[in-house]
Amino acid sequence: MKTEPVDQDLLKQIDLDRLPKHIAIIMDGNGRWAKRRRLPRIAGHRAGIRAVRQAVEASARVGIPYLTLYAFSVENWKRPHTEVKLLMGLLRQYLKKEINELNRQNIRLEVIGRINELPKPVVDDLKNTLEETRKNTGMRLVLALNYGARAELVDAVQELLEKAKQNGAIKVDESMLSEHLYTRGFPDPDLLIRTSGELRLSNFLLWQVAYAELWVTETLWPDFTQKDLFQAIVDFQKRERRYGGLGLS
Ligand code: FPP
């Protein structure tokens, strides 16, 4: 993979002992990137893959344990059929091309969302990549596909109801609900990045980002670089996180 030169000064500013455990990214602005260049929207998505590679490589390089990318939402089915088809094709290409690179970087793939509703060839490629990277012990790369936070909460409640039906009444608390989300076992994101300047959560990880620090950049996703990711981490480390308390100082 072609790697961009890294801003060493910025990299040195990152405190490796206080890294976010989980970074989640809403990758937005592919369409606008293409429109500005009078290109078809799919050219923006294609360029977006380049940015995905940069974000993955940068996160793995500094030792981020979990990186979650919002790649396809439950709402994205409303887009024209041709765009959806092309996005699914790009995802399959990415998975096929990237397996070796993921293994080289010791990255394990994970997926969240209503995966079984995706087209069968996509599901097959995902299962294959999950299996091929299963033994990797480095960063977990989590792709949110056919994902919606409300759908996730509905699915969790449904599972809890099934459990109650089998075992009688159960008492639900926060950790029990968390254990029935697609993200069970993952730490909650502590840093949520959104590109292209929109100030919305767009039905992404609503439960899990309760205490996340938000970092929004005007940069459109295809222009997002390793430098942007490092800058987000540096800024995150300057924030005082209080979780509703009064803080330490
Ligand atoms: C948002 O841009 C982006 C998406 C809906 C899809 C993101 C997909 C990729 C980056 C490529 C495939 C991903 C992987 C992980 C292989 P938009 O189309 O909403 O942009 P706009 O708001 O400017 O129209």
Residue of 25, 28, 77 with the most ligand 1 atoms within 8 Å of its CB, for mutation:
28
Residue 95 phi/psi, 5-degree rounding, is -60, -45
Question: In the structure encoding, which two tokens stand for residue 25, read together?
Answer: 């990214």
* Cα–Cα distance, 107 to 143 (Å, whole number): 13
- Mean pLDDT per block of 10 residues along the chain (249 residues) reads 72 96 98 98 97 97 98 97 97 97 98 98 98 98 98 97 90 95 98 97 98 98 97 94 72
Q: Among 7, 15, 17, 28, which one carries the catalytic annotation?
A: 28
Query: Tokens 């069970």 belong to which residue?
Result: 184
What pLDDT, on the 0 to 100 scale, is given for residue 241?
73
| Per-residue DSSP letter, 198 | -
What pLDDT, on the 0 to 100 scale, is given for residue 47?
98
Cα 29 to ligand 1 centre (Å): 7
Residue environment code for 149-165, b if the CB has 16+ CB neighbours within 10 A, otherwise e: bebbeebbeeebeeeee
Query: Is 116 among the catalytic positions?
Result: no
What pLDDT, on the 0 to 100 scale, is given for residue 121?
98
- Domain edges within the chain: 18-148+188-238
Cα 248 to ligand 1 centre (Å): 39
What pLDDT, on the 0 to 100 scale, is given for residue 246?
78
What pLDDT, on the 0 to 100 scale, is given for residue 7?
77
What pLDDT, on the 0 to 100 scale, is given for residue 149?
98
Query: Is 100 among the catalytic positions?
Result: no
The superfamily CATH assigns to domain 18-148+188-238 is: Decaprenyl diphosphate synthase-like (3.40.1180.10)
Contact criterion met (CB below 8 Å) for 49 and 90: yes
Residue whose CA lies nearest to ligand 1 atom number 3: 28
Long-range contacts made by residues 208-215, C-beta under 8 angstroms, separation at least 24? 208/24, 208/181, 208/183, 209/24, 211/241, 211/243, 212/24, 212/188, 213/239, 213/241, 215/191
Cα 59 to ligand 1 centre (Å): 19
